[in-house]
Amino acid sequence: MRPDPDAHTRELAAKATTDPTGWFEELYAEAADGRATVPWDRGVPAALLAEWARDLDGTGKRAMVVGCGLGRDSEFIASLGFDTVAFDVSATAIATTKARHPDSRVDYVTADLLDLPGDWRHAFDLVVEDMTVQSLPDPPRAQAIANIPPLVGPGGTLLVVAAANLTGAATDGPPWPLVRAEIDAFATDGLRAANVECVPDATDPAINRWRAEFRRPS
Ligand SMILES: C[S@@+](CC[C@H](N)C(=O)[O-])C[C@H]1O[C@@H](n2cnc3c(N)ncnc32)[C@H](O)[C@@H]1O
């Protein structure tokens, strides 16, 4: 009998505490062969991002999508006119995304949030972080948070979408929903919090999500 791909995904995710970023490559590689499933492969952008960004005109602006996975948010951001770069630590995720979107305008790059290229510093008008940090234990989670704000350029915006831990109780991730102090930690490197909301998930009101916007003064 063929093994259950969802069960195999749970086995791979169990490695997250010992191999915080490495297990993602295994997951995407096995998913490409049908042996695992990618739970966040939804084909549509995150609802909280789509609602927030729907009237943006990205013409003449640069955007960066952090931990882009299979490209659902980056394709949406590029459709708004942004000159978009998107990266993920998994080379297979990037290859799969490029194969799915052969005519994409997005520049897809394999890169590690914990070791970013220097020329991305202060280079983007819009930076989107959707569910990357929540997928990491600590360490390296605090370092991952600290490495995102320096991507935002002068006058630029960072949007963070993440599951919320409102009680502070220990959770058995991944994912590890973010507590408020972790959201507040994005206000570093000169960024200021512009709006922080916590909203119930549209499909499961038992889950709360942060949508937090930070800006760098011009
Ligand atoms: C829960 S998934 C979310 C993917 C995507 N943001 C989405 O919403 O569809 C987390 C993603 O973060 C990526 N990731 C984890 N650690 C990373 C790191 N250190 N650098 C870059 N990407 C990373 C994983 O490979 C995975 O694609």
d(CA 16, CA 14): 5
Residues 23 and 174: their CA atoms lie apart, in Å, by 11
Ligand 1 proximal residues by C-beta, below 6 Å: 21, 24, 40, 46, 67-69, 72-73, 88-90, 93, 112-114, 130-132, 135-136
Domain ranges (residues) in the chain = 43-215
pLDDT at residue 146 is higher than 90: yes
Q: How many CB atoms lie within 10 A of CB 2?
A: 6
Name the residue among 217, 180, 70 with its Cα closest to residue 130.
70
pLDDT at 90 exceeding the cut of 60 = yes
Write the DSSP symbol of residue 166. Answer: S
pLDDT for 14 equals: 86
Report which ligand 1 atom has the smallest distance to the Cα of 113: 20
Give the neighbor-by-neighbor strand order of the sheet with 192-200: 107-110, 83-88, 62-66, 124-130, 152-163, 208-215, 192-200
Crossing angle (nearest 10°) for helices 91-100 and 22-32: 40
Confidence at residue 92, expressed as pLDDT on a 0 to 100 scale: 98
Mutate to test the pocket of ligand 1, among 24, 26, 27, 109 (most ligand atoms within 8 A of CB): 24
The residue type at 15:
K
Other beta carbons within 10 angstroms of residue 115's beta carbon come to 9
Whose C-alpha lies nearest to ligand 1, atom 10?
Answer: 132
Strands (E), 79-190: 83-88, 107-110, 124-130, 152-163
Q: Which atom of ligand 1 is nearest to the CA of 46?
A: 8
C-alpha of residue 63 to centroid of ligand 1, in Å: 17
Closest atom of ligand 1 to CA, residue 71: 9
Three-class DSSP category at 155: strand
User: How far is 56 from 88, CA to CA, in rounded Å?
Assistant: 24
Quick check: 2 pLDDT over 70?
Answer: no
Instruction: Give the span between the Cα atoms of 101 and 45, in whole angstroms.
Output: 15
Instruction: Give the tens place of pLDDT for each residue, 156-199.
Output: 999 999 999 999 999 888 999 999 999 999 999 999 999 999 99
Minimum-distance ligand 1 atom for the alpha carbon of 39: 1
CATH code for the structural domain at 43-215 = 3.40.50.150
Residue 95, CB half-sphere, CA atoms under 13 Å: how many? Answer: 8
Q: Which atom of ligand 1 is nearest to the CA of 144?
A: 19
User: Backbone phi, then psi, for 162, in 5-degree steps?
Assistant: -160, 150
Expressed in angstroms and rounded, the spacing between residue 10 Cα and the centre of ligand 1 is 16
Q: How many residues are recorded in the chain?
A: 218
Q: Cα separation of 34 and 18, whole Å?
A: 24
Q: Ligand 1 centroid vs 47 CA: distance in angstroms?
A: 17
Going from the Cα of 200 to the center of ligand 1, the distance in angstroms, rounded, reads 22
Q: What's the pTM? A: 0.96
State residue 7's pLDDT score: 80
